[in-house]
Structure formats: structure tokens, C-alpha cells
Amino acid sequence: MAKTLIMLKEIIDKYYQDKRDERDKEKFYVSDAGKCPRQIFFKFKKAPRKEMEPRILRIFDQGDYVHLRLMRDLFSLGIVVASEIDIPPQEDIGGRADAIVRINNELYLVDFKSINSTILQKMDAPKEEHVLQVQLYLHFFKLKKGILLYEGKDNSMLKEFLVEYDEKKAKKVLEDFNRLKINLEKDLVPRQLSDFPQNWQCQYCQFREICEIAGRDNIQWEELKKKIQEESNSESNSEGKK
Ligand code: SF4
């Protein structure tokens, strides 16, 4: 009996790993807006990274359940015009918005976010990367207003922020994606974030180790791969001497 359970855990873990690999396929996603360009570059190049435990991936997945519940509530209120809508087909960018709702005869794009409750209690403005994501959705769906609806993970507290379409912000994100596309074509690793390693993204980054090897400035991907190989050879040599 115990053996069956071990097999099931492996199957579930693999399911989460496959889901992660699917997310990493070669396209920018609306959810990449505001993210470290170097991190996105490494994802595209399938650079070596620290494995994210399936346990952590399952924690992320809890956010999906929050989304489902909030969506059910919106449907019950009869205000949903569309849900889980893919952005109009783009060559390089993919993304799926949570919902479009009608309130007092006005259309709003809605994006749900689940977040640590303590952080949510202190928040008096939405996170900038979330605003940029909504800006992109508004841009692609040609809508003027969006709502970022946050739910606290531990206390289910709700907080909402109105986001008005700002063409400049949306276009800036698209320009950033274009710049990164050029980096990818030229095989040129983007610069490190200027506040590395304090930036919160660095704290959770699976590429932190190779990012340190790369250093602050741009570097050719081929050159970095050689450095990573040298580093790994010298580590195995020193292990061998122990
Ligand atoms: S460690 Fe920080 S700067 Fe380096 S790739 Fe990750 S997020 Fe970007």
C-alpha cells in the first residue's frame, strides 16, 4: 500500500514540473511585465537553475483556487461579461485575463491576486508589476479601466485598486519586451538589476547562482555558458579532492 502512495506523489510532482516547463515555452507573457529581463532571458535560454520544489509550486497553485472562488462570486452576482479570456493572438506575447465585468454599465478588466495577508494589510497602492500587467491587458482588450482585486492568503481579506489605462506605461512594457527580444536574438545576456541582490525578485530567483557568475554587465550567452562550465568543473575537482 505504502508503495502506491509513493508512486502517486511522484506522478503529482511530475505534473507540477511539466506545468512549469509548459509555462516556460518561448513567448513573453503578460505576467512577465515588470520582471527582471535577465531572469526572462535565462528562462528562454533554458539556463541551469535551482529546481523549484513541487511543494512551492503547489503553494502557487493555491492562488488558482482563490481565483476560482472569486470568479464564482462574480458569476453569482451576474456581472461577468467574459472570463479566462486570451489576449488577441500576438506573435510574441501570450496572456489570459481573469475576467471582464460590467458595473454600472461600465466595463472593467479584473485581475485577481492572492497575496500574503500581512503585506496586504499594509498595502495602500497596488504592486507596480501588477499595474503593468493590467496596463497590458487594457491595451490588448482596448479597455479604459481595470480592477486589481487582492485577497489575503491567510485571512481572505479583500482589497481592490482601480487602474486606469495609461498608454505610455503599456507601450513602455512592449518596448521592454522588444528590447529583450533583440537581446535574445543577439544572444546577449541583459544587465543585472541595479539593486541586485536586494531586489525582491533576486531573493526568489532560481537563476541567482548563474547571475552572480555573469556579473553586473551584459555578457554573451556563449561566454557565460563557458564560465558556468568552468565553475562546475572546479567544484567537481574540489569535491574529488575531499
Ligand atoms: S538574481 Fe536578480 S538580477 Fe539576477 S536574474 Fe535573478 S532577478 Fe535578475
- What structural domains does the chain harbor? 31-229 (3.90.320.10)
Query: Mean pLDDT highest for which of 60-69, 151-160, 189-198?
Result: 189-198
**CB 211 near ligand 1, within 6 Å:** yes
Nearest ligand 1 atom to the CA of 208 is 1
How much is the pLDDT for 25? 55
pTM of the model: 0.82
How much is the pLDDT for 56? 67
How much is the pLDDT for 209? 94
Interatomic CA distance for residues 210 and 225, integer angstroms: 9
Interatomic CA distance for residues 28 and 95, integer angstroms: 8
**pLDDT digit string (tens) for 94-143?**
999 999 999 999 999 999 999 989 999 999 999 999 999 999 999 999 99
How much is the pLDDT for 172? 96
Residues 87 and 30 sit within 8 Å (Cβ to Cβ): yes
Sequence-ordered list of residues with C-beta below 8 angstroms from that of 100, at least 6 positions apart, any chain:
80, 81, 82, 83, 85, 107, 108, 109, 110, 141, 143
**CB 19 near ligand 1, within 6 Å:** no
The position carrying cell 556563449 is 222
**pLDDT digit string (tens) for 161-217?**
999 999 999 999 999 999 999 999 999 999 999 999 999 999 889 999 999 999 999
**CB 202 near ligand 1, within 6 Å:** yes
* Residue 77 scores a pLDDT above 60: yes
- Higher-confidence residue of 155 and 130: namely 130
Across the chain, mean pLDDT equals 88
65 CA to centre of ligand 1 in angstroms = 29
SS3 213: helix
192 CA to centre of ligand 1 in angstroms = 6
How much is the pLDDT for 58? 73
138 CA to centre of ligand 1 in angstroms = 28
Q: What percent of the chain has pLDDT over 90?
A: 67
Residue nearest to ligand 1 atom 2, measured at CA: 202
Residues 36 and 205 sit within 8 Å (Cβ to Cβ): yes
How much is the pLDDT for 44? 92
- Higher-confidence residue of 67 and 164: namely 164
* Residue 221 scores a pLDDT above 80: yes
